[in-house]
A and B are shown apart, each in its own frame.
Chain A
């Protein structure tokens, strides 16, 4: 069942996508977000609040989920259990374990000391790095 208000799009159950999903509202899913037949689609919303998210690319202001499995994630804040992704470009990441290709963020908060951050490129405090010209 789907309920829509002026600011929210609420799904009571799983949100099964058959195409890219784009909404200028907060997406609240009391279940999982995934594509039909295992296919992955792009999700674009203001804030996303869901159990597990399985998507191609996620573009959102804030993402709050248990597990995120995506191609690339572009967000301000990510608050999640485990993240398994290609590239993550975010402000603050608050998560259990992250397994990604490249992570560029401002802060990385681990929910427990044992949590792992596995990446090829891992850059924190991105806003403190000055823009400059590079010699090649």
Chain B
């Protein structure tokens, strides 16, 4: 099936998969009715206002809002992430609403997720979707905005 791309003043719409061969940067809302991934399994950077896709497989994602089924990326830098599963090295976001998060570092405002298995979690609130949900981490800090910046003795 040939991928059809429609571009408006504010939106970049891909009907099908968006297969990247280089970094992708656009100052529009990126809507992909399929998956975003790199050609031959390679990973590239994605920078857009909003990203709406089924699966995203990328190196770095920098967007205002991401709404996807799965995100598999090295770094995610976003305003809001709303996804089923997030698998990433670093997540830097204002709010995360996800099924499961498997990541190295999470730095977020509010995390609303089932299970989190991460290296470091620094957040404002952690909301569990039910009591059985687990939060596994090396470093886990909540209420980050209540902590004052100060000088530390080494």
B residues sitting closer than 8 Å to A (CB atoms) are 23, 25, 45, 47, 60, 62, 75, 77, 90, 92, 105, 107, 119-120, 122, 126, 128, 134-142, 144, 147-152, 154
| Chain B residues with CB under 8 A of A104 | 105, 120, 139
Interface band, chain A: 20 to 34
B45 CB, min distance to chain A CBs, angstroms: 6
Question: CA A64 – CA B143 in complex, angstroms?
Answer: 33
7 contacts between A and B (CB under 8 A): A20-B25, A22-B45, A57-B75, A117-B152, A119-B150, A129-B138, A136-B142
CA distance A104 to B25 in the complex (A): 30
- Name the contact of A22 in the complex, choosing from B23, B47, B144, B149 (C-beta under 8 A): B23
Given contacts A74-B90, A122-B152, contact A134 B137 (CB under 8 A): yes
CA distance A64 to B132 in the complex (A): 45
Contact flags A18-34 to B (C-beta < 8 A → 1, else 0): 01101000000000000
Asked if residues A102 and B45 are in contact (CB atoms below 8 Å), the reply is no
A-side residues, CB < 8 A to B, are: 19-20, 22, 42, 57, 59, 72, 74, 87, 89, 101-102, 104, 108, 110, 116-124, 126, 129-134, 136
B154 and A108: CB pair below 8 A? yes
Q: Kindly identify which residue among B128, B148, B150, B152 contacts A136, using a CB–CB cutoff of 8 Å.
A: B128
Q: Could you tell me the distance between the alpha carbons of A32 and B141 in the complex, rounded to whole angstroms? A: 35
- In-complex Cβ contact of B120 among A42, A89, A118 (8 A): A89
Given contacts A119-B152, A120-B148, contact A130 B138 (CB under 8 A): yes
* B25, B138, B150: the one within 8 Å of A126 (CB): B138
